[in-house]
Each structure stands twice: as structure tokens, then as C-alpha cells.
Amino acid sequence: MTIATPIPQADYLAAPAPPATPPLVDPFGRAISYLRVSVTDRCDMRCVYCMSEDMNFLPKRELLTLEELDRLCTAFLSRGVRKLRITGGEPLVRRNIMHLFRALGRHIKSGALSELTLTTNGSQLAHHAKELAEAGVRRLNVSLDTLDPAKYKAITRWGDHAQTMAGIDAAQAAGLPVKINMVALKGVNEAEIAPMLEWAHGRGLDVTLIEVMPLGKIEPTRADQFLPLNLVEARLKERFTFRETGYRTGGPARYVHVAETGGRLGFITPLTHNFCESCNRVRVTCTGTLYMCLGQEDAADLRAPMRASQSDELLHEALDAAIARKPKGHDFIIDRDHAKPAVARHMSVTGG
Ligand code: SAM
Ligand code: SF4
């Protein structure tokens, strides 16, 4: 959906980042430099590993406004966050979301923010790619688990493969480097990982493989879906030559260079290799709930302190108290003895 009528520029577009306050450092000495913000829990797809078909979404009044999202991100920047990823749900289905991107773009221009990026399913990208680039986005992640249109429909339930491909084309045409996120699903797309690498690297796109995480209740069990990436890597090595790289994007992926295709392949392995020791991330939901760890239930409400006062004092106090509780790591396990999800909320709530 495109928003044709521009709304007037709000005051927050001009507001600079507030003066620096002490950086956010957790009890294990990890500085929080990366914030992921889910701007909506809604989505125009229903991926089988992410949501059930019949989801109950939050009433819109519960959501932070775009102004509040901007204020919150700006407060985090003043505490040392340098990298911001906008996610969801599907971020590009939130009404007027480009206003937020444009507003946050001022921090790229000022140098307060080193990266503004997003994770998207690509469905709305054809409409927004150019504007995203103009706002200051310099790369983005598009989720694509298969190149087969029928299988794409089966995995995403409501997605349209051609529309997503048009989105990727538009992003590339706008000069935005795209990284493909592919969730490895046992018996579903295992045979397509090699073709995906060849296709993506042929187009100059990086690929990151992701292990399915036990987040939220869904119809198939996680044990049915879970495909360990150490197994995938071993299989790929029969065909491709990998060279370890020190390349990092600030996220949890480990990257290799693939000699045969000349591209980069990342592995996100929360289950088979825990990467918590270097975690620099926190996540905020669209209702202003801060999760200090994707895989734990503990959270802090940032909406109440924001709404209680026009100054950010209460907000910063809430941030200090929350970061002081950031846990050492998650406890994800997927096997037949652990049928229940590690955390009850879906990935679309916390933001991937
Ligand atoms: N709608 C956008 C998209 O699909 O890219 C952004 C939100 S989505 C929750 C972010 C990422 O999380 C996607 O790459 C998706 O494949 C991944 N994801 C969703 N549920 C997951 C799960 N249970 N385990 C692992 N990855 C998951
Ligand atoms: Fe929507 Fe993204 Fe979840 Fe798929 S993974 S249902 S596109 S939020």
C-alpha cells in the first residue's frame, strides 16, 4: 500500500539528538550499540515458521506513534546506539512509515547514526525502495526462503513471489545492497540452498541462512522445521569452497566467502552455536516494550515513562534499570522433549 497524500512535516523531523548521556553498558560489559525496532506486529504474509494463519493483532491505539518511535530511537542514540534496524511484522505496511525513515535519516546526516536499515519481506519494496535510499538507508535485508513461486506461496501463505522479486529489483535499481535472509527449513527448502546461493551471488546479493528459533506457538512443531546449520554447512562444503572472513555487519552472523560464486554467505546459528557472549543488541516492540534478549521473557515498558513526561528523564531511568538486567544469553533448545516455544511471543512481535 502506498500513501499518496503527504502529511505535513512534524516538528520531530527537525529535532536534533539530545546531549549525550552515559552509554548503555550491561552487567557483562557489553555496550549496547544496536537497536532493533519493530514498528508494527501486522504483516501481509503469514510465514509458517513465524505466525499462525489466524493471528490476533494489537489494537492500533496500543502502538507507539511515529513521533514516539522517533523520540525513543533518538534517546537510544544519545546512549550509544549507532545502528538501527527497523523491522516488524512487516515494517513497510505501517501507515506513513516513510515519515519515520525520513525523520531518522537526520541522524545519518548528522553522523549520530552509522547505519539505518530494515528487514522486510519485500512485498512493498517496489513502492518504497527509492524513498528509503533517499532517507539514508544504505542496505537492507529481504526475506526470501525459496525461488520457487509455488513453494513461496506455501511458506508465506499470503505472499506473492513476483511481487517480492519486483521489490528486490527496485531496491537494486535504487542502489541499495540487498542481503537475502533465508530460514533453513527441514524438508522444505533444504535442496534450494545451493541454487539460492548461485542465484543471489549471481546478482551481487549476500545470503544469510537462519536457524528456525522457538518463538511463539505455531501449527507445525519446531522439531519438524528445525534444520541445524552445521549440517547444511557440511553439505554445502561438498560442492563449494568456503573461506572464513572477518566480515561483520554488527549482527550475529558469521560470514564465509564462497570461491565458486564469489559471494558472501552468512550463518545465524542461535541453536547450534550460541553467539550471546558478543551480544550488543536490544529490541523494542511497537508498543514500546524493551526486550533485553530475544530469547528471554524479561522486558521493560518504555511507553509509560515516555508518556508520563515530555522530558526524557524517566525514559533514561527506565533504560538504565532495564539494561542492568540484560541476561547473559538465551536458552533455546529444539527437540522432541521441548515441544513448547522457549518464549511465547512470535518473532513478528519482538522483531527479527
Ligand atoms: N516481515 C519482515 C521479514 O519477513 O523480513 C521483517 C520481520 S521478520 C519477523 C524478520 C526475520 O525473522 C525474517 O527474516 C524471518 O524469516 C525471520 N523469522 C521469523 N520467525 C522466525 C523464527 N521462528 N525463527 C527464525 N527466524 C524467523
Ligand atoms: Fe510476516 Fe516477516 Fe513473519 Fe513472514 S517472517 S509472517 S513476512 S513478519
pLDDT, one tens digit for every residue, the chain (352 residues): 333 334 344 444 545 555 457 999 999 999 999 999 999 999 999 999 899 889 999 998 899 999 999 999 999 999 999 999 999 999 999 999 999 999 999 999 999 999 999 999 999 999 999 999 999 999 999 999 999 999 999 999 999 999 999 999 999 999 999 999 999 999 999 999 999 999 999 999 999 999 988 766 666 566 678 899 999 999 999 999 999 998 887 677 899 999 999 999 999 987 665 667 778 889 999 999 999 887 777 899 999 999 999 999 999 999 999 999 988 776 655 544 555 555 556 666 655 5
Examine residue 173 and state whether it is found in any structural domain, yes or no: yes
Q: Is residue 6 part of a domain?
A: no
CA distance 212 to 138: 27
Which residues are bridge partners to 207 per DSSP? 180, 265
Instruction: Assess if residue 3 is contained within a domain.
Output: no
Q: What is the pLDDT of residue 2?
A: 37
Q: Could you tell me the residue range of the domain that residue 154 belongs to?
A: 12-350
Q: Which ligand has its closest atom nearest to the C-alpha of 142?
A: 1
39-70: burial string, b at 16+ Cβ within 10 Å, e else? bbbbbbbbbbbbbeeebebeeeeebbebbbbb
pTM: 0.88
Q: What is the pLDDT of residue 349?
A: 60
Alpha helices for 89-237 (secondary structure H): 97-110, 125-135, 149-156, 161-173, 193-202, 222-225, 229-237
> Can you read off the three cell numbers belonging to residue 44?
501481509
Domain count, the chain: 1
The ligand 1 atom at the shortest distance from the C-alpha of residue 222 is 23
- The string of pLDDT tens digits covering residues 314-327 is 999 999 999 999 88
- Answer whether 76's CB lies under 8 Å from 20's CB: no
User: Given this model, what pLDDT does residue 330 score?
Assistant: 67
Distance CA 188, CA 51 (A): 17
pLDDT of residue 78: 96
Q: Is 189 in the pocket of ligand 2 (CB under 6 A)?
A: no
In a domain, 4, yes or no: no
Q: Is residue 166 part of a domain?
A: yes
**Is 205 inside a domain boundary?**
yes
Q: Is residue 106 part of a domain?
A: yes
Are the beta carbons of 121 and 90 closer than 8 angstroms?
A: yes
Ligand 1 neighbour 348 (Cβ under 6 A): yes
Model pLDDT, residue 112: 95
* CATH code: domain of residue 134: 3.20.20.70
* Exposed / middle / buried, residue 225 (Cβ in 10 Å: 0-12, 13-18, 19+): buried
Locate the DSSP E strands across 28-136: 34-38, 83-87, 115-120
Model pLDDT for residues 200-216, shown as the tens digit of each residue: 999 999 999 999 887 66
**pLDDT confidence of residue 318:** 97
Residue 313 lies in a domain: yes
Is residue 167 within 8 A of residue 123, CB to CB? The reply is: yes
pLDDT on residue 9: 45
- Report pLDDT for 20: 53
Residue to substitute in 38, 48, 117, 119 for testing ligand 1 pocket (most ligand atoms within 8 angstroms of CB): 119
Pairing of strands 289-291, 281-284: antiparallel
pLDDT of 216? 67
Ligand 2: residue of 53, 121, 283 to mutate (most ligand atoms within 8 A of CB) is 121
Pocket test of ligand 2: the residue of 145, 348, 349, 350 to mutate, having most ligand atoms within 8 Å of its CB, is 348
Residue 120: the pLDDT is 98
